[in-house]
Amino acid sequence: MLHCKDLCAYYKDIAALRGINLHVDRGEAVALIGVNGAGKTSLLKAISGVLAVTGAITFDGEDISHLSIEQRVRAGIAHVPEGRKIFPGLTVKENLLVGAHIRRSDGHLRSDMDRVYSLFPRLAERSTQLGWSLSGGEQQMLAIGRGLMARPKVLLLDEPSLGLAPRLAEEVYARIADIHGEGLTVLLVEQNTVLALSVASRGYVLENGQVVLEGSAAELGANDRVREAYLGHSAIAA
């Protein structure tokens, strides 16, 4: 469904992506793992069109490399950015409507919003509350809900667990698993490898803008390099 070929990106003279090749099949959940600065965010930005890159990106059989951000959203790519980026001065409901703005009025708005509210009941309770007044976990749920409102074919998630207490991070991941379970394709970025591999069936490890390892969740979880670098000593001891 999604193919990236030889993607390279620079910030001035810093190479953020250095020849990335990856693919995500329809219905898959795939994880991108790597430490801070590995290039994970840059890769998602390249796919959603926020960051200009060289190389080729195809989606649903079409070359999307030259499409604008909005055209890529219309094609079915929703990007839930690092740090949530919800609109603090808009209500929960208004933030969700922003996610739907690229859609033509297709009559599904109400049912899609109900779906988000049933997935995240806390958002329903807070639908008239302003974005800034939400907790970090609620903001993450809102950012995901906003992404879903575009009716995407693939959901790009950038560190959904970042800054959340473990219990909340697990709750967010349980909802991501639900969304994926309903058939949505997911590409997610995480430093928290354990959480990422709890949902993803396959993953790529990024270092210094390059893919250094790829494999099934089981293979990556058992890989010594991954365990040492990303799972920490407690996981190795366990």
Ligand X SMILES: Nc1ncnc2c1ncn2[C@@H]1O[C@H](COP(=O)(O)OP(=O)(O)O)[C@@H](O)[C@H]1O
Could you list the residues that contact Mg ion (CB under 5 A)?
A: 40-41, 82
The answer to whether residue 217 forms part of the interface with ligand X (CB under 6 A) is: no
Residue 42's binding partner, choosing from ligand X, Mg ion, none, with beta-carbon cut-off 5 to 8 A by kind? ligand X
Q: Which is nearer to ligand X, 11 or 238 (CB)?
A: 11
Q: Which is nearer to Mg ion, 41 or 140 (CB)?
A: 41
Closest C-alpha to 100, from 47, 50, 152, 155: 152
- Burial label for 129, CB within 10 Å (0-12, 13-18, 19+), is middle
**196 three-class SS:** helix
The answer to whether residue 41 forms part of the interface with ligand X (CB under 6 A) is: yes
What minimum distance in Å lies between the beta carbon of 220 and Mg ion? 19
The H or E element containing residue 214 is strand 210-216
Q: What's the distance, CA 127 to chain centroid? A: 23
The answer to whether residue 16 forms part of the interface with ligand X (CB under 6 A) is: yes
Q: Which is nearer to ligand X, 11 or 237 (CB)?
A: 11
Closest C-alpha to 139, from 99, 191, 104, 92: 92
Q: What one-character DSSP code corresponds to residue 133?
A: G
Cβ pair 173, 94 in contact under 8 A: no
* Binding range to ligand X, per CB under 6 A, among 11-19, 137-145, 192-200, 214-222: 11-19
| Sign of the C-alpha dihedral computed for residues 120, 122, 125 and 130 taken in this order | negative
Task: List the one residue from 4, 22, 30, 39 that touches ligand X (CB under 6 A).
Answer: 39
The answer to whether residue 79 forms part of the interface with ligand X (CB under 6 A) is: no
Q: What gap in Å lies between CA 204 and CA 4, rounded to an integer? A: 13
Q: Which is nearer to Mg ion, 40 or 79 (CB)?
A: 40
Residue 49's binding partner, choosing from Mg ion, ligand X, none, with beta-carbon cut-off 5 to 8 A by kind? none
Q: Determine how β-strand 54-59 pairs with β-strand 29-33.
A: unpaired
The 127-146 site mask, x for binding ligand X (CB under 6 A), equals: --------------------
Task: List the one residue from 19, 37, 136, 215 that touches ligand X (CB under 6 A).
Answer: 37
Integer CA distances (angstroms), 73 to 42, 86, 110, 161, in order: 17, 17, 20, 23
Q: What gap in Å lies between CA 183 and CA 22, rounded to an integer? A: 20
Q: What gap in Å lies between CA 166 and CA 159, rounded to an integer? A: 13
Task: List the one residue from 4, 30, 42, 113 that touches ligand X (CB under 6 A).
Answer: 42
What minimum distance in Å lies between the beta carbon of 32 and ligand X? 8
Q: Which is nearer to ligand X, 37 or 136 (CB)?
A: 37
Q: Which is nearer to Mg ion, 41 or 48 (CB)?
A: 41
Which residues sit at the interface with ligand X, rule CB under 6 A? Answer: 11, 14, 16, 34, 36-42
